[in-house]
Amino acid sequence: MALHKDEAIVLFKRSYGESDKIIRLFTLSSGKVAAIAKGANKSQKRFANTLEPFNHIRVEYFEKYGRGMVRIENADIVETNSGIEKSLKRACTAGFFVEFVDRLTKERERHDDLFNVLAEALQGVRAAEFSYDDILHYQLRMLEVLGFMPNFHACVYCGQAMAADEKIFFSKERGGVLCHRCAPSLPHQVCAKGVIEGIVSVQQGNGSTAPGFQAASGCAEKGPVYLNNGFEKAAQDIMEGFMTFHLDVEFKSYRILKGLIATNSE
Ligand SMILES: [Zn+2]
């Protein structure tokens, strides 16, 4: 049995029997891996606190414990989760990123870029409480490295490049923006000017308030005019519609997190 050495981020942990723990790791070289840590529950010394969720660790494991699991032999810390426990919002934000990676990747699929984005996102949450824009930024970067990014740049039907102020029709079904000629014949929602550009701007790390963004209006499909946090609501609406339609996932952690974002911005 070969001993594998790798870096990993701990996605999930639970007790197994009296003395063991079952861990889900997102490893740099092998993607998502299910693992068992023998004796981790019994002896605090065995793995100390290395196998806690959100920790970035170096890990040594043997292949084939059974049932597709590997057996963790050694683990030590690269970066602890310290800081994430400071508030419920931080814990939920980290939980959302981890759930995102867990749900959108398959076992044993290597994703170097995603690993790096997740590590950077968790690093950010350790250091500070994230705003909605920060969360959206990492969500978009993760979608991009996974190849699931909506097209916010050219009409998804005819391919025509579009100016910023033309981007008001979004089709979650088609996975991107529509031009004014294609929109009437395809399913779409109408967004306030600046929302789509705001999302692009957040992805690029320039902040959400793109020129021309009107804070007092959101997606027209929803009816009521949004106040103050118009961008957040409109962007959430676009992203949730897209994720649910194309990836068929709803995140438990995101539901809680959304409640916390709403409370904070009122
Ligand atoms: Zn078009």
pLDDT tens-digit series, residues 134-177:
999 999 999 999 999 999 999 999 999 999 889 999 999 999 99
pLDDT digits (tens, 9 = 90+) for 229-254: 589 989 999 999 999 888 887 788 88
Is pLDDT above 50 for 216?
no
Give alpha helix (H) positions in 21-70. 44-47
User: Residue 186 C-alpha to ligand 1 middle, in angstroms?
Assistant: 10
pTM: 0.87
Pair type for strands 3-16 and 20-27: antiparallel
Number of neighbours of residue 239 by Cβ within 10 angstroms: 18
pLDDT: is 83 or 222 the higher one?
83
Domain boundaries, the chain: 3-130, 151-265
Closest to 96 in 3D by CA, of 266, 192, 246, 239: 239
- Mean per-residue pLDDT, 76-80: 94
Looking at CATH, the fold of the domain delimited by 3-130 is given as OB fold (Dihydrolipoamide Acetyltransferase, E2P) (2.40.50)
In one-letter notation, the amino acid at residue 174 is: R
User: Residue 168 C-alpha to ligand 1 middle, in angstroms?
Assistant: 12
User: Residue 156 C-alpha to ligand 1 middle, in angstroms?
Assistant: 7
- pLDDT at residue 226, rounded to an integer: 37
User: Residue 150 C-alpha to ligand 1 middle, in angstroms?
Assistant: 15
* Own/partner long-range contacts of 208-211 (Cβ < 8 Å, ≥24 apart): 208/133, 208/136, 208/235, 210/164, 211/164
Dig out the tokens for 199 from the structure: 């999302």
Is pLDDT above 50 for 219?
no
User: Residue 181 C-alpha to ligand 1 middle, in angstroms?
Assistant: 6
User: Residue 70 C-alpha to ligand 1 middle, in angstroms?
Assistant: 50
- Mean pLDDT, the chain, rounded, equals 87
How far, in Å, CA of 198 to CA of 234, rounded? 10
Closest to 83 in 3D by CA, of 71, 73, 74, 91: 91
User: Residue 153 C-alpha to ligand 1 middle, in angstroms?
Assistant: 11
User: Residue 139 C-alpha to ligand 1 middle, in angstroms?
Assistant: 26
What's the sign of the alpha-carbon dihedral 12, 14, 16, 21? positive
Classify the phi-psi angles of 47: left when phi > 0, otherwise alpha if psi is within -120 to 50, otherwise beta. alpha
- pLDDT at residue 206, rounded to an integer: 57
Is pLDDT above 80 for 65?
no
Rg (CA), the chain: 21
- Mean per-residue pLDDT, 90-109: 95
User: Binning pLDDT at 50, 70 and 90, where does residue 265 land?
Assistant: low
Is pLDDT above 80 for 71?
yes
How far, in Å, CA of 210 to CA of 205, rounded? 11
Number of neighbours of residue 255 by Cβ within 10 angstroms: 11
Lowest mean pLDDT, pick from 21-25, 29-33, 64-68, 121-125: 64-68
